[in-house]
Structure 1
Amino acid sequence: MKPYRNLSGKSGVAAYECGDGFIRVRFIHDGIYEYTHARPGRVHVANMQQRAEAGRGLATYISRFVRENYARKLD
């Protein structure tokens, strides 16, 4: 996983991993979650991947638009 740059300095995201059709996000206090094209969908995964690479807005996007709609929790 790549460390999340956290340009705002306030994010709950520690790291992420992007791949074809998925993103995995490691939260500082809550483990790793996987989001896929199947759940929550292509548009959300693309938006999350974009924010992850930019280092800004990922946790906010997840809390506003995705919430509990993840494919699976990995740990």
Structure 2
Amino acid sequence: MERYRNLSGDSGVEAYEIGDDFVAVRFKPGVVYWYTEASVGARHVAALKRLARSGQGLSTYISQHADVNGGYARKEPDD
């Protein structure tokens, strides 16, 4: 996973991984949520990728879009 830049300084996101059709986001304290095109749609995955790369707004976007916040494909502890 790539470390999230957290430009705002107060994000709960630690790291992320981007794939062709998914974004995995590791939140503090180490829980990883997988957002896929199948679970939240291609438009949301594209936005999550853009925000992850920019280092700002990722957690806010997830929390403000109910279909993303509750639409993750899976949730697991980070190894």
For Structure 1 versus Structure 2, the TM-score category normalised by the shorter chain is over 0.9
Structure 2 counterparts to residues 1-75 of structure 1, below 5 A: 1-29=1-29, 31-65=31-65, 66-75=68-77
Identity %: 53
Give the TM-score, by structure 2 length. Answer: 0.91
Q: Which amino acid aligns with 1:71?
A: A
Instruction: Write the deviation string for residues 3-39 of structure 1: whole angstroms up to 9, x where unpaired.
Output: 0000000100000000100000000135001000101
* Unaligned ranges ≥5, structure 1: none
Instruction: Write the deviation string for residues 27-69 of structure 1: whole angstroms up to 9, x where unpaired.
Output: 0135001000101111111000000000000000000012111
Q: Which amino acid aligns with 1:72?
A: R
- Which structure has the highest helix share of the two? 2
Q: Which amino acid aligns with 1:70?
A: Y
User: How many matched pairs?
Assistant: 75
Question: In 2, Cα distance between the equivalents of 1:68 and 1:48?
Answer: 14
Give the TM-score, by structure 1 length. Answer: 0.95
* Unaligned ranges ≥5, structure 2: none
Q: Which amino acid aligns with 1:59?
A: S
